[in-house]
Amino acid sequence: MNGSSKSARGGFASRLGFMWAAVGSAVGLGNIWKFPYITGEYGGGAFVLTYLVCILVVGLPLMYSELIIGRRGGKDILGALRDLTKEAGLPGTLLSWLTGAMAVLTGFLILSFYAVVAGWAVHFFVLSVGGLELNGGAGETFGALVANGPLAAIWHTVFMAITIFVVTRGVQGGIEAACKILMPTLVGILGILLVYVAFTGGLGESLIFLFRPDFSKLSGDAVLEALGHTFFTLSLGMGVMVTYGSYLKDEIHVLRDGFWVAVLDTVIALMAGAVIFAVVFSNDLEPSAGPGLLFATLPGLFVGMPGGALVSTAFFLLVVFAALSSAISLLEVVVAYMVDEFGVLRLWATLGMGFAIWLLGLASAFGLNMPGFLPEALGGGQAVLDTLDNLTTKYLLPLGGLLIAVAAGWMLSKQDRESGFSALPGNGGLLVSSWTFLIRFVTPVLILLVILKGIGIIDFSD
Ligand code: TRP
């Protein structure tokens, strides 16, 4: 299919290039910041096990769906869905418009606050390089940063500038080239940190906490949190994998590559968790510190460790790298949309959209609140950062995932649906039917549960 126009849009140079970019998108603050702290809050092993099941029954089927839709469409998310519904003979323009527009909007909103949190990591990286002198402890240092709008805005700006720069360079020369360096370095640093904590203590306890399930601690809420996190951590529900899939050259490897992306993402989250909890336990602290775990707890513990400033430098460099390759993918969805739908030059699309996202991000950086006249559901009076995080993770991503599942399960032709399995022995027989069953029935129902929980219609909290 339209091979020439595809090469004009660019694409990944190699399979490995695609892999690094997709893993780069998936591995981010979700793995290193969010996964450890929600695991800590929900009590460890049983939550981890639930999360692994969610990756298997919701994450993987959806990952494959996005990649195959993108691969066959060869366009941004809106264009791919529009062609898909048209070919299926459905009056689906409205649906594809809604899904596509929502995806682009979601990317826009996520990146605006994601870059601010990443900016905090840059701040701690710079502090660590400077010898990790914390004035009055990590909690205070973090509190002072969050309260200091201009300072947070500076790091937000630095981070956005780098992200924009990479994306202007294009898929191959920018995204692929950056991720090919960022990701292996990240795995290397994480490996070294793991070895380090194996010697400084706490690793055994940390592994027990992560892998010994205590089901008495598992609530319905924890299950839905695990499910919601599956979207975020695998970059699903807003077309990142559709967009990256559109740069793929054939469908032979879609299945296997998607599988490896999910495996690597999961392994890296577990490694990060193992390192973080080892530090926490070796200092006799509780793992349930919440969102502040990464910024308000860890640096304080690094200070007391042998070679602490160096460890801290490596650690926050890791966080910044992880966040950067994810931010790139968020911006790329928005840019691909401008390029493919409106024929804007990549350079201008990236600069324009990047600027707009940066501008919106300032609201989070300065700790502004949403206008008080808004209803509570839209975050009236709440911090912009928290509101955007909630709005996107709890509603927009699951909703996008639901629509993509419906499109993949019910609108793709049989041939397209199965094309990614064709390289398997017997054309994937049992796997194809399992995937079809999951994506048609199981995934949509589970996603609906997440959304209903988000709206507060169901509540499992006890
Ligand atoms: N997956 C990334 C993380 O874990 C974040 C991310 C990048 C993302 N692109 C996304 C989340 C698209 C949702 C949708 O940090």
Cα–ligand 1 centroid distance for 344 (angstroms)? 25
Q: pLDDT band at residue 6, thresholds of 50, 70 and 90?
A: very low
How do residues 107-152 score in pLDDT, each as one tens digit? 999 999 999 999 999 999 999 998 888 777 788 899 899 899 999 9
Rg over alpha carbons for the chain, rounded to the nearest Å, is 21
Ligand 1 pocket, 235 CB below 6 A? yes
Residue 218: predicted pLDDT? 83
Q: pLDDT band at residue 205, thresholds of 50, 70 and 90?
A: very high
Instruction: Name residue 324's amino acid.
Output: L
Record the pTM: 0.90
How do residues 210-228 score in pLDDT, each as one tens digit? 999 988 888 887 888 888 8
DSSP for 132-150 reads ---TT-HHHHHHHHHH-HH
Ligand 1 pocket, 21 CB below 6 A? no
3-class secondary structure, 422: coil
Ligand 1 pocket, 63 CB below 6 A? no
> Average pLDDT of 409-433?
79
Cα–Cα dist 167/115, whole Å: 15
DSSP for 351-386 reads HHHHHHHHHHHHHHHTT-B--TTS-GGGTTTSBHHH
Cα–Cα dist 414/417, whole Å: 5
Helix 203-211 vs helix 45-54: angle between axes, to the nearest 10 degrees?
A: 60
- Quick check: 114 and 364 in contact, CB under 8 A? no
- Which residue pairs from 407-410 have beta carbons closer than 8 angstroms and sit at least 24 positions apart in sequence? 407/65, 407/69, 407/81, 407/84, 407/85, 407/95, 407/96, 407/99, 408/62, 408/64, 408/65, 408/66, 408/68, 408/69, 408/439, 409/65, 409/436, 409/439, 409/440, 409/443, 409/444, 410/440
Instruction: Name residue 10's amino acid.
Output: G
How do residues 14-65 score in pLDDT, each as one tens digit? 777 888 889 999 999 999 989 998 999 898 999 999 999 999 999 999 999 9
Lowest-confidence pick of 159-173, 187-201, 278-292, 418-432: 418-432
Cα–ligand 1 centroid distance for 231 (angstroms)? 8
Cα–ligand 1 centroid distance for 269 (angstroms)? 13
> Average pLDDT of 91-96?
71
Residue 4 confidence (pLDDT) above 50: no
Q: List the residue whose alpha carbon is closest to atom 10 of ligand 1.
A: 235
Residue 328 confidence (pLDDT) above 70: yes
Ligand 1 pocket, 238 CB below 6 A? yes
Q: Which residues of 125-138 are buried (b: 16+ CB within 10 A; e: fewer)?
A: bebbeeebebeeeb
Residue 307: predicted pLDDT? 86
Residue 2: predicted pLDDT? 38
How do residues 295-307 score in pLDDT, each as one tens digit? 888 888 888 888 8
Name the average pLDDT for the chain. 87
Q: pLDDT band at residue 382, thresholds of 50, 70 and 90?
A: confident
Q: List the residue whose alpha carbon is closest to atom 6 of ligand 1.
A: 235
Q: Which residues contact 199 (CB under 8 A, 6 or more apart)?
A: none
Tally of CB atoms within 10 A around 271: 17
